[in-house]
Amino acid sequence: MTVTAAARQAKTAKHTGFPFGLPNYEVPNIDLAKMEMPAAFREFADQGVAQGRDYYEKAKAATEKATDQLKDTYTTIAKGATAYNLKVIEIARTNTITAFDNAHELLGTKSLSEFVALSSAHARKQIEAMTVRTKELAELAQTVATGLAANDWRLGTSKTSNKVA
């Protein structure tokens, strides 16, 4: 038995799985401009577009409002923090001046009893001043907190002005 060359090629040829070549997966060219759409479909599509625009406008307005409220909140916080820090600096400056004045007075004392009396008087004044300054800082912090609570950006409400002294 002789095996012909054609038979040998048939036995060794690879099977592709497609008897007529590879399939064509291209999208057919359809001219949509010439295609007539039903009126109900066009109306449905127009309503969808209009509704999408309406939702977009509402979302845009809500986003702009939230952004403005956040800006107001951060402005209130920044003004309050600035006022608080200025008050702390003023207190530190006053304490430094008072400490140097007290040191100058203590250097001029002639006896231990005078030194103790001046030191005690200075300590008493400093405790009284600290009480007053602590109250001032607490009031300032309360003012800032009230300004923030009055302008609750999470709820979108503004009860009063958010100006800080």
For the chain (length 165 residues), average pLDDT per consecutive 10?
55 55 71 72 87 94 91 87 92 94 92 93 94 93 81 54 43
Instruction: Judge whether 40 lies within some domain.
Output: no
> Which tokens is 118 given?
């001046």
The residue segments making up the domain with residue 112 are 50-150
Instruction: Judge whether 94 lies within some domain.
Output: yes
Q: Phi and psi at residue 155, in whole multiples of 5°?
A: -95, -10
Instruction: Judge whether 156 lies within some domain.
Output: no
Compute CA distances 31 → 28, 34, 46, 81, 127, whole Å.
10, 6, 21, 65, 90
- Rounded to the nearest angstrom, the gap between the alpha carbon of residue 93 and the centroid of all alpha carbons in its chain is 35
State the pLDDT at residue 10: 53
Instruction: Judge whether 62 lies within some domain.
Output: yes
State the pLDDT at residue 9: 54
State the pLDDT at residue 18: 57
pTM above the 0.75 mark? Answer: no
| 16 Cβ contact list (under 8 Å, min separation 6) | 22
Instruction: Judge whether 103 lies within some domain.
Output: yes
> Which tokens is 40 given?
């109900």
State the pLDDT at residue 51: 93
Instruction: Judge whether 115 lies within some domain.
Output: yes
* CA–CA separation, 137 and 48 (whole Å): 57
Residue with tokens 């690879």: 14
Quote the number of domains for the chain: 1
* CA–CA separation, 111 and 95 (whole Å): 25
> Which tokens is 41 given?
């479909």
Nearest CA to 122 among 133, 132, 114?
A: 114
Instruction: Judge whether 160 lies within some domain.
Output: no
